Amino acid sequence: MAVYTEVSDEELEEFIAGYDIGELVSFKGIAEGVENSNYLLQTDRGTFILTLYERRVDPADLPFFLGLMEHLAARGLACPTPLHGRDGAALRQLCGRPAAIVTFLTGLSPRRILPEHCGALGAAMAEMHVDGADFPMARANSLSVAGWRPLFEAARSRADTVAPGLAALIEGELAFLESNWPSGLPSGLIHADLFPDNVFFLPDRVTRAERVSGLIDFYFACTDQLAYDIAVCLNAWCFEPDASFNATKARLMLSAYRRVRPLSAAELEALPLLARGAAMRFLLTRLYDWLHTPAGAFVKRKDPLEYLRKLRFHQGIAGPGAYGIE
């Protein structure tokens, strides 16, 4: 839930005049994303999303994010495409912040994940990996293994206030991941935050099967091992609200992925370790936010312990077969 920046009439009018998108007829703040201010903007020519980038996004990364969305959309992936202003620029300024207008995508983010969502997601993620292969820009994943210890250091002294023994548990797992983190797997463009909030679905007109109608929010996208994106999704899509792992969902996701982009034996073998790492990444960012966000603050805090439970699942499995891989 967002909308942090109030846009004045004059600033909005001047900003819109920088684009060839027709007359503004509606402008509403929407509760989407937690990082930026988002507005649904309607003109007599169509519907768009206006995003003002707030403090969490590094402006230096914006050409990467916007260029990537444009690259993927040009290859037919259903993702927002930045509009270019009359001067050719896609990245502009509004209310003293970097800002961009992107195309609007229809679709609904599932609140309750069905197995068919996971299958459709697997295929869309693989297509994104294939489409991103020739994107010429690179951006390091600042929230991969090298980025976890600084987060832990900022949370360590108070970690045990969230759960007794949490600091020691993270310390041990972090040391293990740092020593064993895979390298050399196929790399390229990953989304790195492909949670259900960031995936839109619509039912097929004829079959009623859920199909992916859009991938959004590329503001964690980076260059990394492709299978790490799958590991994030195993965590984000394949656990039930009661914390149990749903192997059917994982099997559907992985098999649909592999039909579009085959996974090497090394990638399959590395999945449990990558899934532990992905669980650690969200455990640490949630723990950091939990300890650094006032209880009454505007943003709803997400429970870090959900990811502790997921981490423990991945620690306990015998191998990638637990994810439904034959």
Question: What residues make contact with a copy of itself under the rule CB under 8 A?
Answer: 1, 3, 6-10, 23-32, 40, 42, 106-108, 110-112, 202-203, 294-298
Q: In which element (H, E) is residue 119 found?
A: helix 115-132
Q: How far apart are CA 279 and CA 276, in angstroms?
A: 5
CB of 299 to a copy of itself, least distance (A): 10
The whole-angstrom separation of Cα 322 and Cα 326 is 10
Question: Toward a copy of itself, which CB reaches closer, 59 or 298?
Answer: 298
Beta carbon nearer to a copy of itself, 110 or 188: 110
CB of 187 to a copy of itself, least distance (A): 34
What is the DSSP track for 162-220?
Answer: TSTTHHHHHHHHHHHHHHH---SS-EEEE-S---GGGEEEEE-TTT--EEEEEE---TT
- Please give the Cα distance from 120 to 253 (Å, whole number): 7
Residue 29 or 186: the one with the smaller Cβ distance to a copy of itself is 29
| CA dist., res. 93 & res. 269, Å (int) | 46
Which helix (H) or strand (E) is 235 found in, with range?
A: helix 226-237
- The smaller minimum CB distance to a copy of itself, of residues 262 and 296, is found at 296
Residue 81 CB, nearest approach to a copy of itself (Å): 17
How far CA 141 is from CA of 135, 191, 219, 267, 312, in Å, comes to 16, 10, 11, 18, 24
| Shortest separation between residue 291's beta carbon and a copy of itself, angstroms | 17
Least Cβ distance, residue 244 to a copy of itself (angstroms): 19
Instruction: State which residue, 49 or 170, has the beta carbon closest to a copy of itself.
Output: 49
